[in-house]
Amino acid sequence: MYEDFYRFKEKPFSLTPDPEFLYLSKQHQGALDHMMYGIRQREGFMAVVGDVGTGKTTLSRCLLEQLDPGIAVALILNPMLSDMDLLKTCIHDLGAPPVPSRRSMAASGASLGDPGFALEMDDSGTDEDWVNSASKKELLDALNHFLIEQSQKGGSTVIIIDEAQNLPLQVMEQLRILSNLETEKEKLLQIIFVGQLELNDKLFLPELKQLNQRISIRYEITPLSKEETRNYINHRLLVAGVGSRVAFAAPAVNLIYNFSKGYPRLINLACDRTLLAGYNSQADVLQLEHARQGIRSLQGKDDRESRTPLRAFSLKKTLALAAALAVAGFLIWNETADAPNAENSVAVQAAQPTPVSAPAPRVAPEPTPQTIAEPVPAEAPQSEAVAVPVVEPEPNVAAPEEAGYRIHVDSTNSKKEADNEVARLQQAGFDAFSKQVQGPGGAWYMIYVGPFEDAANARVHMKALKFAGKKPILLSIINNG
């Protein structure tokens, strides 16, 4: 849809494992170098592991393109096979011909000692015909014969198994037995396992102890860093169209990285949807809002709900939200009402909308012995549904310099739940804490993030909390001492 608009020759962020689009990060280059080294050194077994979506399959396809023509390769993409099916697939991919049977030699009256006798492979019938009807012994004989001929010609044979963590134990033991095909100086068959992190756990099973000991090269692919993510996006844009006119702004790249955690598959998904959002608004530079829209579409969130937040709630949800807000308001009020003196007390007041058409002149607030805490209207993303309209404060009315801010995240009557929530928030990078107050039915625990010296910093954390699925309330604490 957007390819013509942005002048791409093809989609830059397709999920198909195209080696042309492979970005060789430090990790991917390291994995490729280890596999090439193992093949050149005729190592028997190699294992390359990585989490889901780190680009292992694309790397395997890239390896195929870099191998010498004299290397015979079989690429197994579906490891959920029996040992017989695996043998058939390997022989079919390698193009190994069948070995002539002794019966056919006897019928011709020839023997190995006859002058001028030459051993010829039986090429009768199609390749698939003999492979599908062959016995296990015939398959093993054909493979062994093929491996010896490859070695005599100076070549080698490599079997690459993708998604190797799904290999049945019986098949993995069969592969170990196949690796016994060797000369006095080198292995005739090299096997590369490419799989998810679970492959490591599987290899350490007692049943696979002998196989695990034979793996001489291991490498783990990790997700991309933030800088590598930026380079990855630019690389794929360049490959898709040198003359393209699109660019990702730094804030958009940062959001994509935070969403994807550096996993190439998630980067591709987020970038593809971001390009679609940019195309809809005819934008050449993809901004933070385009990335946010793209990621929201991946998460199954409808933008129409964010434009009509009140309609997004059913009556039951609306009542539940109102009840939760009422309890939170009571607890905040009760917390401040129990303060030891009036100077430190807090009163929660609703923010009053100020008509924009008639801005009020700036006047100094009347001195008061109280500390006033009032909900500050946050610049919330459109996706959050609210029960009452939020009105931005009048631009020329600034908060006093001595103002402090904190964010109310949640309330609970369980100290354990409060402690767990605080721990989760802190682990996510928020300065969280809890405070005990007396509420309905006993002690309640208020969970806050903060404090913050200025509203701008507090609103940044508000957006982060909302993006994490929380329903924060921003409070302004003004102490006139």
CATH homologous superfamily for the domain 26-100+130-221: P-loop containing nucleotide triphosphate hydrolases (3.40.50.300)
Mean pLDDT is lowest, of 123-132, 160-169, 220-229, for: 123-132
**Rounded CA gap, 419 and 431, in Å?**
13
Query: Angle at Cα 321 formed by Cα 294 and Cα 309, nearest 5°?
Result: 40
Pairwise CA distance, residues 411 & 408, whole Å: 8
pLDDT higher than 50, residue 402: no
> 206-220, 267-281, 442-456: which has the minimum mean pLDDT?
442-456
Half-sphere exposure of 140 (CA within 13 A, CB side): 12
Q: What proportion of the chain, given as a percentage, has pLDDT over 90?
A: 48
Residue 363: pLDDT over 50: no
pLDDT tens digits for range 234-270: 999 999 986 777 999 999 999 999 999 999 999 999 9
What pLDDT, on a 0 to 100 scale, did the predictor assign at position 343?
40
On the question of pLDDT at 118 being above 60, the answer is no
Separation between Cα atoms, residue 439 and residue 413, nearest integer Å: 9
Please choose, from the candidates 158, 193, 196, 175, the residue with its C-alpha nearest in 3D space to the C-alpha of residue 47: 193
Lowest mean pLDDT among 79-93, 147-161, 461-475: 461-475
Domain boundaries, the chain: 3-10+225-301, 26-100+130-221, 315-353+365-479
What stretches of 41-168 show up as alpha helix (H) in DSSP? 56-66, 83-94, 102-108, 127-133, 136-152
**Mean pLDDT comparison of 242-251, 366-375, 411-420, highest-scoring range:** 411-420
Top mean pLDDT of 115-119, 120-124, 173-177, 306-310 is at 173-177
Q: What is the mean pLDDT of residues 151-170?
A: 93
Q: Looking at domain 3-10+225-301, which CATH architecture does it have? A: Orthogonal Bundle (1.10)
Is the pLDDT higher at 102 or at 255?
A: 255
> Of the ranges 11-15, 48-52, 349-353, which one carries the lowest mean pLDDT score?
349-353
Nearest C-alpha neighbor of 263 from the set 17, 52, 453: 52
Picking from 146, 172, 174, 170, the residue whose alpha carbon sits closest to that of residue 158 is 146
Backbone angles phi, psi at 113, to 5 degrees: -90, -5
When mean pLDDT is compared across 140-149, 276-285, 386-395, the lowest value belongs to: 386-395
Look-up of token digits 């959050």: 384
Q: What is the mean pLDDT of residues 11-15?
A: 94
Asked if residues 284 and 261 have their Cβ atoms less than 8 Å apart, the reply is no
| Res. 176: pLDDT tops 50 | yes
- Contacts for 135 with CB less than 8 Å, ≥ 6 apart: none
| pLDDT value of residue 321 | 54
**Residue 128: predicted pLDDT:** 60
Q: Is the pLDDT of residue 349 over 60?
A: no
Q: What is the pLDDT of residue 330?
A: 57
Contact 444, 470 (CB under 8 A): no
Mean pLDDT calculated for residue range 331-335: 55
Give this prediction's pTM.
0.59
pLDDT at 329: 60
The span from the CA of 303 to the CA of 301, in Å, is: 6
Instruction: Please provide the average confidence, as pLDDT, over all residues in the chain.
Output: 77
The architecture (CATH level 2) of 315-353+365-479 comes to 2-Layer Sandwich (3.30)
